[in-house]
């Protein structure tokens, strides 16, 4: 699992370098994208978080691109991405909510323990689970245990903000350690 996440993170950084290369090759300034950079971050982050059980981290490279190349405000980019990420997690919530009607999950081993845990810790549990890459687990459990949607979204949003702040800040610091590109 850690190797899988490392590969996905490497692909994300590669995508960032590809964006830089293409912008330099075609002589496109990042400031030309500044008016729509927030919309690009919102759309790609929403799409990446709507995928269930496959952690797609390309949106982090898009956030770093918007901050570094388009000169967008870091905290505003992360806020936009956090809102899109929390809304994208609704696919997992609704899959859990509707999946309980489709499959008889009460006989699944461990279901009672997870459902009781979600009822007992609810928003705090969602906040802690949302800090890790596979947030879909929190959405599936919250939906299956019929937790109200606002109790799911409210802790998911600050957790996404903290996670994206950490990823963008330290991702940018990691990129500064790499040798400069030849273009």
What pLDDT, on the 0 to 100 scale, is given for residue 44? Answer: 87
Between 118 and 159, the more confident residue is 159
Radius of gyration of the chain measured on its C-alpha atoms:
18
Model pLDDT, residue 77: 94
pLDDT tens, residue by residue, 71-110: 889 999 999 999 999 999 998 888 888 876 555 555 666 6
> Whole-angstrom Cα distance, residue 181 to residue 21?
8
- Sole residue written with tokens 């081993």: 109
Instruction: Encode pLDDT of 30-74 as tens digits.
Output: 777 777 889 889 988 988 888 877 767 778 888 888 888 888 899
What interhelical angle do 149-177 and 58-68 show, nearest 10?
Answer: 60
* CA-wise closest residue to 54 among 136, 141, 157: 136
Q: Collapsing DSSP states into helix, strand and coil, what is residue 30?
A: helix
CA–CA separation, 179 and 5 (whole Å): 23
């Amino acid at each position: 699992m850690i190797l899988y996440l490392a590969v996905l993170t490497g692909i994300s950084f590669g995508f960032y370098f590809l964006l830089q290369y293409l912008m330099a090759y075609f002589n496109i300034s990042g400031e030309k994208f500044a008016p729509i950079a927030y919309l690009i971050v919102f759309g790609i982050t929403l799409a990446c978080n709507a995928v269930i059980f496959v952690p797609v981290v390309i949106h982090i490279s898009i956030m770093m691109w918007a901050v570094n190349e388009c000169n967008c405000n870091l905290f505003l980019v992360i806020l936009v991405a956090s809102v899109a990420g929390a809304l994208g997690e609704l696919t997992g919530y609704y899959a859990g909510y509707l999946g309980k009607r489709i499959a008889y999950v009460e006989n699944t081993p461990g279901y009672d323990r997870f459902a009781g845990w979600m009822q007992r810790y609810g928003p705090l549990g969602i906040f802690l689970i949302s800090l890790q890459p596979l947030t879909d687990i929190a959405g599936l459990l919250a939906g299956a245990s019929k937790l109200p949607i606002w109790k799911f979204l409210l802790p998911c949003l600050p957790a996404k903000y903290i996670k994206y702040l950490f990823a963008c800040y330290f991702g940018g610091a990691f990129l500064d350690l790499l040798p400069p590109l030849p273009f």
